[in-house]
Amino acid sequence: MAEPRKKRQLRSIDPPFVALGPSGVAIRDRLKDLAEQDGKVLRLMGGHLGVLASRDLKARCADGSEHDCEKWAARKQGLTAESSSRWAGSITKATHDQWALSRRCQLAHIKSLEAGVQTLRHRLSLPIGESGTKRAPGGYRSGREWFQKSRRLATLEDRLAQETADRENGIVHVVRGGKKLARNRHNLEAAQLTEAQWRQRWEAERWFLAADGESGKRFGNETIRVTPDGEVSIKLPAPLAHLANAPRGRYVLAAKVAFAHRGAEWRDRIDANRAVAYRIHLDVARGRWYLTASWQRPVVQTIPLATARAKGVIGVDTNADHFAAYRLDTHGNPIGEPRRFHYALSGTANHRDAQIRHAITQVLHWAKSIGVNAVAIEDLDFTAETTREKHGRKKRFRQLISGIPTGRLKARIVSMAAETGLSIVAVDPAYTSQWGDEHWRKPLVTPRRKMSRHDAAGIAIGRRALGHPIRRRTAPPRDDRSDRRGHRTVQADRGVRGRDETRRPVTERAHDARDRTGTHQGTRATSASKTVRDARSAGQWVQDSLLLTD
């Protein structure tokens, strides 16, 4: 006898929430018309401070988990003699931030290795050729593949053991200038670089020309000072004090900056002597110097979820090449036509970032034009889905998952929405594409409207953000007019009593019901019911009465 099929267990769905606004701001402007002497001074400063930053990072990595405040103070004191107290403070803070970032990346790498090892062990334990399910992959197709994967399991276990030991001992591996650029040195032809070009980029990436802001100081920063009219002056390190062209060992650049984006906000901040951090860097490919200003913002108070839902939402489904958006009213009904906002994630990182920003701008402008308060998106995280061992041969699918800009998208859309006065409602992504396609794609198709699976997913995301179930109204019961198969609709409000119950039985359905209750409508006499259940003969009524009296 065949075993009964087990009912599939759905995972729990987290409630929607309003995402917090940005906590910092960064703006950038080019240092135009930079004199030759200015460029020379900046290169000398960057090279000298970069050497000190490299030494400090090496010392911090050597301390590992045994680092304390005394060692920090000793490192800062040693750097002060070769630069200044302010430069030493900036270098040590940057070192600690980089070490902490490396620790977070190390933990993420360990979790990725653990997921790969767990998947490989599961698939190797299954018989060869056994099919998988939606929730778990099956066995390998051949003995040859099983053997290759067993060797890969040993490799991943060795890497996992090494990374775990490094984390317990506080060891991190950091490359100032970037690991990718360091590896390009051994493969210049593939990187399309000459040795001289690589050397220029390597040195520029390892320079250090960044200074933290200080509240209460003049214009918010004493190390790199920028006046409201755009004049830039830098405190020179002690070994380079002879290059100063201004009092107190400072060097004033001939080029001036004028921040076009958020310029008024930046000017108000430095007029109040509030902290602003600056960074000067060189774009070697373009041969241009840039100045970046950044500062922290108080955490933006988000509006309540009920206020965000007050005027409906726009549900946005994120895909590898476009946003699929649909507008929904407060009751969860789709309005108008689906909208798609395309982008191309190809080319350089700057080009991909520009494509994402352009698509987000279009979504936010549309949201403002129709008057909604919020945009609903999925709280995506494909860390587990990109595991190579989980999807095996599905290389194109893994590339598709990896191509969706989850981290960059969330950071961009939250910061850009805050500037336009909109809120972002993040929802659980579980089953949105599946249930949206099942309940919404086919009913909304018309001769002039083509619905895709992604458009239907946008409706599902919006309904989840509004607090409604994803599925639409159910059809009436197919047996008769009574609700024998359950309540007629699942779109009743959550506060309605008996929402999940069957409809109460109608007792006054007899052929003489209105005669007994004294209610008549119109001049037409009440006719007997024609349903199978209610159309009983008079003899049957007599028999029932006799049974009750007995």
For residues 285 and 276, the answer to whether their CB atoms sit within 8 Å is no
The pLDDT of residue 499 is above 70: no
For residues 494 and 467, the answer to whether their CB atoms sit within 8 Å is yes
Nearest-Å Rg of the Cα atoms of the chain is 33
| Burial call 226-258: b when 16+ CB within 10 Å, e when fewer | beeebebbbbbbeebeeebeeeebbbebebebe
Of 67-71, 117-121, 133-137, 481-485, the poorest mean pLDDT is in 481-485
pLDDT tier at 351 (50, 70, 90 boundaries)? confident
Nearby residues of 156 by Cβ (< 8 Å), 6 or more positions away: 113, 116, 117, 120
How many CA atoms lie less than 13 Å away from 227 in the CB half-sphere?
8
pLDDT tier at 544 (50, 70, 90 boundaries)? very low
Nearby residues of 273 by Cβ (< 8 Å), 6 or more positions away: 215, 216, 217, 218, 219, 220
Amino acid at 105: C
pLDDT for position 509:
41
Q: Give the Cα separation of 364 and 145 in Å (integer).
A: 48
The pLDDT of residue 547 is above 50: no
Of 91-95, 198-202, 486-490, the poorest mean pLDDT is in 486-490
pTM of the model: 0.73
For residues 325 and 337, the answer to whether their CB atoms sit within 8 Å is no
Task: State how far the alpha carbon of 537 is from the alpha carbons of 511, 526, 528, in Å.
Answer: 10, 16, 10
| Burial call 201-221: b when 16+ CB within 10 Å, e when fewer | bbbbbbbbbbbbbbeebebbb
Quick: pLDDT tens for 190-216: 889 999 999 999 999 999 999 998 898
Unique residue bearing structure tokens 């409706």:
459
Q: Give the Cα separation of 507 and 23 in Å (integer).
A: 62
Burial of 348 (0-12, 13-18, 19+ CB in 10 A): exposed
Token pair in block for residue 407: 């981290």
Quick: pLDDT tens for 372-429: 999 999 887 655 555 566 655 666 656 556 656 666 777 788 888 888 889 999 998 8
pLDDT for position 549:
42
Of 274-283, 361-370, 496-505, the poorest mean pLDDT is in 496-505
Closest of 49, 75, 51 to residue 62, by C-alpha: 75
Kindly list the structural domains of the chain, giving each domain's residue range(s) and its CATH number in brackets, ordered by start.
Answer: 24-296 (no CATH), 305-466 (3.30.420.140)
